[in-house]
Structure 1
């Protein structure tokens, strides 16, 4: 394991401002997972939950597990399991947060059309409606099962689920995961997605800074990451 003390500055920085509060550990967790340092998330969890009540610990655990589950689509199931299983091994029965929003929704008879509508809106917001539709059509034209996997299954059931993490928080996690999985172009797309879903450029910068710090600490080759100040956001993007 590598010392994660460098993340303390992001904890302090994140918790000092309302729009980044409670987000440092989710972005850090997925960055570690993507960089192949998943077992160190147990140390991150200890850092994030130190001195908290049991209820607060479970809330943090819920958010952290959801972040890793969502971003596993970006960097792979094996790395997510290398992250989650060591964490699970530290939790006794009293400390397990046993909640799954998708499982609950399906159990309670959620209508699939509700998820489809939410997923379409999410994807349209991320790409803009015209670009999103072009993407759908291209996927379907060249490989219908790619459309089924990427645009239906992933967005309907996983990415657009917002009970635990908001779309902005999800996009921040996507930035961290993509930077640390060596996918700088896709990281830029999702950096714009933070803002398009209602976040700020400062939140985008915060997520990118955490990911770059994780990559540097673990010697991970991240490629040519485009700095936030060079990303072409809309002129109206909030700072």
Structure 2
């Protein structure tokens, strides 16, 4: 149970992220929702959603489209995070998110284009992989291929191609935030370090990346996750 997901704790998490000019661009809620999911506290996800929607409702000029985008960002971010934290956790988190989402803000159609060819998907995946890893892609991708060719094929063609490279709801940097938020509770410092740097390559500021790291870390600690390794920073 995420009883610690109180309004006061969510206030604290929100304060860590640099204040944006547009609330929906302030990715604290994305990082928090994914961190609750990855920390196996799916009941924290609807609390983040409700808090963020209430914040939006207080702002002048907020439209249904603003609210819909916020929901879509959380949903797509959790979907992407399932590649790291596991889809059982993502399913549980998405189920609680769905139940808490006002009916008018629920999607009933696919967001990803099912008519895209496998070649298009693979090319998009390679492009986002290269964007994320930069110069290190030339060593990371062959490493994946050498330890298990199927892993490299799946990672770049499907994981990055179909899941991560869809950037219409969660941008390149927000997708990096999804990875970081999921990885911290998994206690995998090597990959955390990769994606802290990857987020910078994908357009995030150092301040934003540090905020996402801290949000995910505080949730993991509150959730009782026992971290055996120090979490890298940037």
Correspondence 1:47 to 2:51: yes
1:90 is the counterpart of 2:90: no
2:17–2:212 contact (8 Å) kept in structure 1: no
Specify whether residues 7 and 75 from structure 1 end up closer, same or farther in structure 2 by C-alpha distance, changes over 3 A only. same
| 1:15–1:143 Cα change, 3 Å | closer
Give the structure 1 partner of residue 12 of structure 2: 9
Q: How far did residue 197 of structure 1 move? A: 1.5
2:65 aligned with 1:72, yes or no?
no
Instruction: Give, in whole Å, the separation in 1 of the partners of 2:122 and 2:230.
Output: 33
Shift of 1:93: 3.7
Which TM-score applies when normalising by structure 1?
0.83
Deviation at 1:33, TM superposition (A): 0.6
Q: Deviations over 1:202-235 (max 9, x none)?
A: 111010110111112212123323452xx4xxxx
Q: TM-score, normalised by structure 2?
A: 0.85
Instruction: Check the 8 A contact 1:184/1:222 in 2, yes or no.
Output: no
Match of 1:113 in 2: 119
The answer on whether the counterparts of 1:61 and 1:97 sit within 8 Å (CA) in structure 2 is no
* Counterparts of 1:194 and 1:89, CA distance in 2: 31
Indicate the RMSD between aligned Cα atoms, in angstroms: 2.3
Q: 1:36 to 1:119 in 2, by over 3 A?
A: same
Aligned partners of 1:92, 1:227: CA distance in 2, in Å?
A: 38
Deviation string, structure 1 residues 6-36 (Cα, Å, up to 9, x no partner): 1212324536235994201000011111111
* Residue-by-residue CA offset, 1:61-99 (whole Å, 9 max, x unaligned): 111000000010001011111211122233464341335
1:184–1:223 CA contact under 8 A, matched in 2? no
Q: Measured at CA, do residues 202 and 15 of structure 1 come closer, stay the same or move farther in structure 2, by a change above 3 Å?
A: closer
SS of 2:78 mapped into structure 1:
helix
State the alpha-carbon separation in 2 of the partners of residues 214 and 78 from structure 1. 19
Question: 1:38: which partner in 2?
Answer: 42
The Cα of 1:153 is off from its aligned counterpart by 1.1
The secondary structure found in structure 2 opposite 1:38 is coil
Equivalent residues, number: 224
